[in-house]
Structure 1
């Protein structure tokens, strides 16, 4: 049996698209409490803090629980709601942002702990005129503690799909 080069390429392309199709149907819907590992109460990740009078901002001080991440979410395909804090933006929209649990987090209030923030990248820009709307973000999540301009984040998510969150 002779397999043409064209057949091999189209078969490989279809196979590469298959995992995304399987993921899209199997996204696990999660909430913000799910980002905290089992057995770590939210009250134990919020710490004291101090006022940076020079920059007029409150700086929270978190303990080690603030960077403890839920091991079941590393590599998981999830769907979660949140609000956008833009990090990379063009005329087409936002392609990188920090997903936060409430409006104004990191901007008007001290940032939540790292295990309550998700750094999101998306190939499809989110329209800049919808930045205050709550969103659903669907994609593959992984652990990666990193420092951004607005806060330290504990998770990274590659978004396959985004939509307005309807109450």
Structure 2
């Protein structure tokens, strides 16, 4: 069977376009405010707190509004900015982390409420030399209240793509 040059080029061009078509879903760009369900003011997710004298740290006490999640984000393909608190760090980079809204959240200060924290797993490890950079994370978000080493998180995101956030 002999294939003409024109037919071969057509097949090759179609093959090059197919992977891009599969990735054509456009991510919805969100902010941290979008993680809070509509109708719940930010002021109502921050609770009281208490001093843990033994460990010399402040422990926030959140009410039920802190674990309320935005139903529109469950299963959504999103893109959001944030900072990395590493959970699983290898020589290849960070494989899982908590995405936080500001530098030092969960480390130097009490953690934000669960609906302001996202547990992220990566397909490609994020280089460990970029841990202090703000990042854009793109992927599929799910509701999943879980406890990590640093805080309770309300969302889980499988990162399909990450990049440095440029101010």
Q: TM-score, normalised by structure 1?
A: 0.87
Counting only pairs closer than 5 Å after superposition, residues 137-148 of structure 1 correspond to structure 2 as 137-148=137-148
1:104 and 2:107 aligned: no
Q: Would the alpha carbon gap of residues 48 and 22 (structure 1) be closer, same or farther in structure 2, given more than 3 Å must change?
A: same
Shift of 1:58: 0.5
Shift of 1:57: 0.9
Cα deviations by residue, 1:128-147 (Å, 9 ceiling, x for unpaired) = 01100000000000000000
Runs (5+) with no aligned partner, structure 1: 1-15
- Aligned partners of 2:100 and 2:149: how far apart in 1? 14
1:64 and 2:40 aligned: no
- Aligned partners of 2:93 and 2:47: how far apart in 1? 35
Q: Which residue of 2 aligns with 1:44?
A: 44
Runs (5+) with no aligned partner, structure 2: 1-17
Count residues with an aligned counterpart.
Answer: 151
Q: Would the alpha carbon gap of residues 45 and 37 (structure 1) be closer, same or farther in structure 2, given more than 3 Å must change?
A: same
Q: Which residue of 1 aligns with 2:23?
A: 21
Which has the greater radius of gyration? 2
Shift of 1:22: 2.7
Shift of 1:55: 1.0
Runs of 4+ in 1 over 4 A off after TM superposition: 16-20
Counting only pairs closer than 5 Å after superposition, residues 1-167 of structure 1 correspond to structure 2 as 20-23=22-25, 26-167=26-167
Q: Once superposed, what is the RMSD of the aligned Cα atoms?
A: 1.6
Q: TM-score, normalised by structure 2?
A: 0.87
